[in-house]
């Protein structure tokens, strides 16, 4: 229980690992390297009290990898196509999506800004990314509100509504698009109002910095990346 309370990861660590993980899973990396990197989002979620999501994620990944290794070589026909679509989507896209979900869900905007400013990240990069951190959760809430409103009017996002694509676009997609644009404008204005574009150095109530967990996971990710680079340059690794 003490480990859960003390477990915290700096925003910079999350972004570094997300970038390395995104690069590695889409390339031809030995399984014992990619497998270890895939465990990082699982550990982050599990130690951050997202145990249910962590277990679902690792279960789907293990099933997909099993299908990829054991079933796909002998599968034929439409079954082969379905298994390929599922297994490769799960093994390549799922780790990135889960790591992105963890990064956005557990990183406060103030924490992210403090971390980036501590690393002297230019404001031209900092402002758009900080808006994105607020944008995705806000847009998700707007989509949920629109979905609930449509259900109250008897037009939810169901298989039945797919039979009327024009109504689906008019009643569902158009409000979402309008809300997306409006939300982006509001968040951009809010960021500027709070002085994010002020050229003077800002002070922060929150304290950020790397701890033992940050160094450990960054080391694992960098070692994995180093093994991949060595492998790509002609080095010999165990298959």
The stretch 41-63 carries a mean pLDDT of 90
List phi, psi (to 5°) of 155: -135, 75
Q: For the chain, first and last CA: distance in Å?
A: 38
Under a CB-based contact definition with an 8 Å cutoff, are residues 54 and 46 in contact?
yes
pLDDT digits (tens, 9 = 90+) for 103-112: 888 888 778 8
Choose among 94, 100, 96: nearest CA to 60.
94
How does pLDDT run across 89-100, given as a tens digit for each residue?
888 888 889 998
Scan for tokens 């998700």, then name that residue: 140
Show me where the domains of the chain are located.
1-108+208-239, 109-205
> Which position has the higher pLDDT, 238 or 63?
63
- The residue with greater pLDDT, 225 or 134, is 225
Mean pLDDT of the chain: 79
Mean pLDDT confidence for 200-205: 66
Longest CA–CA span in the chain (Å) reads 63
**DSSP at 202:** P
Is residue 239 over pLDDT 60?
no
In 93-206, which residue ranges form alpha helices assigned H by DSSP?
94-106, 109-118, 123-152, 165-168, 174-193
With a threshold of 0.95, does the pTM exceed it? no
Task: Report the C-alpha gap between 141 and 143 in whole angstroms.
Answer: 5
Residue 199 is predicted with a pLDDT of 66
Question: What's the rounded mean pLDDT across residues 144-150?
Answer: 81
């Amino acid at each position: 229980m003490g480990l859960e309370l003390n477990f915290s990861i700096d925003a910079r660590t999350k972004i570094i690992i997300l970038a390395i993980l995104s690069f590695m899973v889409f390339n031809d990396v030995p399984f014992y390297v990619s497998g270890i990197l895939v465990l990082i989002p699982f550990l982050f979620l599990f130690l951050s009290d997202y145990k249910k999501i962590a277990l679902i994620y690792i279960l789907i990944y293990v099933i997909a990898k099993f299908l990829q290794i054991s079933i796909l070589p002998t599968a034929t026909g439409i079954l082969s196509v379905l298994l390929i679509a599922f297994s490769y989507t799960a093994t390549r896209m799922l780790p990135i999506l889960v790591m992105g979900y963890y990064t956005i869900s557990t990183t406060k905007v103030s924490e992210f800004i403090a971390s980036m400013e501590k690393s002297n990240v230019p404001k031209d990069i900092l402002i758009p990314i900080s808006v994105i951190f607020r944008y995705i959760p806000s847009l998700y809430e707007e989509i949920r509100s629109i979905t609930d409103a449509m259900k109250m009017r008897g037009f939810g996002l169901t298989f039945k509504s797919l039979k009327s694509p024009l109504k689906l676009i008019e009643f569902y997609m158009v409000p979402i698009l309008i809300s997306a644009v409006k939300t982006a404008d509001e968040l951009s204005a809010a960021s500027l109002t709070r002085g994010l574009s002020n050229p003077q150095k800002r002070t922060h109530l929150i304290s950020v910095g790397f701890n033992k967990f940050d160094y450990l996971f960054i080391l694992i990710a960098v070692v994995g990346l180093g093994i991949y680079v060595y492998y790509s340059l002609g080095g010999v690794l165990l298959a």
